[in-house]
Amino acid sequence: MSQRRVVVTGLGATTPLGGNVDSTWKALIAGQSGVRLLTDDWRELLPVHFAARVATEPAEQMERVEMRRLDRSEQFALIASREAWKDAGSPDDIDKERLGVVIASGIGGVITLMDQFNILNEKGARSVSPHTVPMLMPNGPAANVGLELHAKAGVHTPVSACASGAEAIGYAFEMIKNNRADVVVSGGVEAACHQLPMAAFAAMKALSTRNDDPARASRPYDLDRDGFVLGEGGGILVLEEFEHAKARGAKIYCEISGQGLTSDGYHIAAPDPEGNGVQRAIKFALANAGLTAKDIVHLNAHATSTPAGDVAEANALRKALGADADHVAVSATKSMTGHLLGGAGAIESVFLVKALEERLAPPTINIENLDPAVTVDVVRDKARALPAGDIAALNDSFGFGGHNVVLVFNSI
Amino acid sequence: MALSPDDVLAGLKQIVEEVAGVPAADIELGKNFTEDLDVDSLSMVEVVVECENRFGVKIPDDKVTDLVTVGDAVNFIVSASN
């Protein structure tokens, strides 16, 4: 079998910066923050009073009856997938047995789970919604998108905490590479802005507590970073076999040419300070893509704004890329979107595709004093132009459990 | 207190519209829940629980499969309220 190549032919998103890709990208390039004070009464129960909720509520983009049988994470998946599918030219006449869906969620329908638990306690078992299980299952977002598109090549949901979204895109890439599918709708979503997950992350001391200045709380690489900011939303990419895309005259954004997957075997939540797993994932991804560090001009970093994680990652990047790290513009977009957990690697892949298309690396905001331990070239404050010609970029994502995923995209 | 068929139909229309998004005007006595109104098995469970709450009757699980049409449901609820 000749080598099958995989390209990106559609994008969709709903994020703290906008209800679609275009509005999100504009806000991102302008350096806007999507982080706001929560308006929920329960915030007073928590040490953290802010998060990055989606900019456009699903109710503005969806019918009420459809919404009531979908968890919020499933609503995000359908909204972003519909945009991506339309962006891909709505190829409804393709062979559905060659159409797959891989959409991840780190946590699943936790808001549904908690709401129905409250109903059980208050009103009894008979009042628990019969839609509860399809709403809380982590594969629910993928399943609902698969149903809507009649996808029959396989519907999958990798779960690897905050690496889930990137792992989903890598899985979709492999489905096409391995000739299981010609088109795969892929990405990740998360809807966990709820008091329980927030209290739980706060208990781990993982969240920023900068309650007096939420918009400046997510500050990857800054000396005074104190944790991540929880975000919600999701990103979707339509991946397609290159010849298939050309044959139907699809708009082709770029190629996805490789992935690298490793695990740390170090700690359930803390990053390996040596970043060995990250370095190996980068090397595997480049080899898989048939590229070298010389080809890479941009990287969308995982950089969540935690004290340990940002430096461990930056060190690993420097070690893996060596002197070539000097020409890699590193953007930490969680400074604007917050951390979408299972949606993070997906929305950041959407950003990477847009960066290649627009030749523009998004800024990293809120760095007042760059941590001197960070020895990579961070794009600070303002977006930066990327070079003309053939270029390639990386997206790295990591998850609790020691999961490392690196994806390679290149211009075509 | 016995409920009138008209009262039950009016209430049922509201419930089915709320649960399944079917316009109230389409909900008639002769309509089949599954085939005509596209109310699937999970949504039917919601309709039954809402009917119990609203009309103060019990609809046993083994009777739910007998409620094929809107008219079946109205008749059952009216009888149960007697």
Banded model confidence at residue B82, pLDDT cuts 50, 70, 90: confident
Using CB atoms, pick whichever of B20, B46, B52 lies closest to residue A130. Answer: B46
**How far apart are the CA of A63 and the nearest CA of chain B, in angstroms?**
9
Which chain A residues are closer than 8 Å to B45 by Cβ? 130
Among residues A49, A156, A162, A403, which one is catalytic? A162
| Residue in chain B nearest A126 by alpha carbon | B49
Buried b (16+ CB within 10 A) or exposed e, A48-61: bbbbbbbbbebeeb
Q: What is the pLDDT of residues A358-378, one digit of tens each?
A: 999 999 999 999 999 999 999
Three-state secondary structure call for residue A376: coil
pLDDT band at A380 (very low <50, low <70, confident <90, very high): very high
User: Which residues of chain B neighbour A66 with C-beta distances below 8 Å?
Assistant: 21
What pLDDT was estimated at residue A2?
Answer: 66
By the 8 A CB rule, do B44 and B12 touch?
no
Model pLDDT for residues A4-58, shown as the tens digit of each residue? 999 999 999 999 999 999 999 999 999 999 999 999 999 999 999 999 999 999 9
**A302 noted as active-site residue:** yes
Is residue A102's pLDDT more than 60? yes
- The verdict on a CB contact (< 8 Å) between A127 and B49 is yes
Q: How many of the other CB atoms lie within 10 Å of CB of A17?
A: 27
Model confidence over A151-197: pLDDT tens digits?
999 999 999 999 999 999 999 999 999 999 999 999 999 999 999 99
Instruction: State which residue of chain B sits closest to A130, comparing Cα positions.
Output: B42
Asked if pLDDT for residue A1 goes beyond 60, the answer is no
Distance from CA of A314 to the nearest CA of B (A): 49
Q: Given B21, B42, B52, which is nearest A131 (Cβ)?
A: B42
A339 is catalytic: yes
The region, left, alpha or beta by phi > 0 then psi within -120 to 50, assigned to residue B68 is alpha
Q: What is the DSSP letter of A194?
A: S
Give me the pLDDT at residue A15, please: 98
CA of A133 vs chain B CAs: smallest distance (Å):
11
Convert the pLDDT of each residue in A289-336 to its tens digit.
999 999 999 999 999 999 999 999 999 999 999 999 999 999 999 999
Cβ-based contacts of A122 with chain B (< 8 Å): none
Mean pLDDT, rounded, of chain A: 97
Q: Which of A142, A25, A155 is nearest to A99 (CA)?
A: A155
Per-residue H/E/C for A125-158: HHHCCCCHHHHHCCCHHHHHHHHHHCCCCEEECC
Q: Is A162 a catalytic residue?
A: yes
* pLDDT > 90: percent of chain A: 99
**Chain A positions touching chain B (beta carbons under 8 Å):** 63-66, 68-69, 126-127, 129-131, 134
| pLDDT band at residue B2 using 50, 70 and 90 as cut-offs | confident
Q: How much is the ipTM here?
A: 0.87
Q: Scanning every residue of chain B, which has its alpha carbon at the shortest distance from the alpha carbon of A123?
A: B53
In whole angstroms, give the CA distance from residue A395 to residue A154: 25
Is residue B54 scored above 90 in pLDDT? yes
CB pairs under 8 A between A and B: 20
Closest residue in B to A125 (Cα) is: B49
Helix (H) / strand (E) element for B6: namely helix B5-20
Closest partner residue to B42 (CB to CB) among A63, A66, A130 is A130
Cross-chain residue pair A126–B49, CB shorter than 8 Å? yes
Which residues from chain A sit within 8 angstroms of residue B19, using beta carbons?
Answer: 65, 68
Q: What is the pLDDT of residue B53?
A: 94
Q: Which of A49, A194, A244, A302 is catalytic?
A: A302
Task: Tell me the percentage of chain A whose pLDDT exceeds 70.
Answer: 100
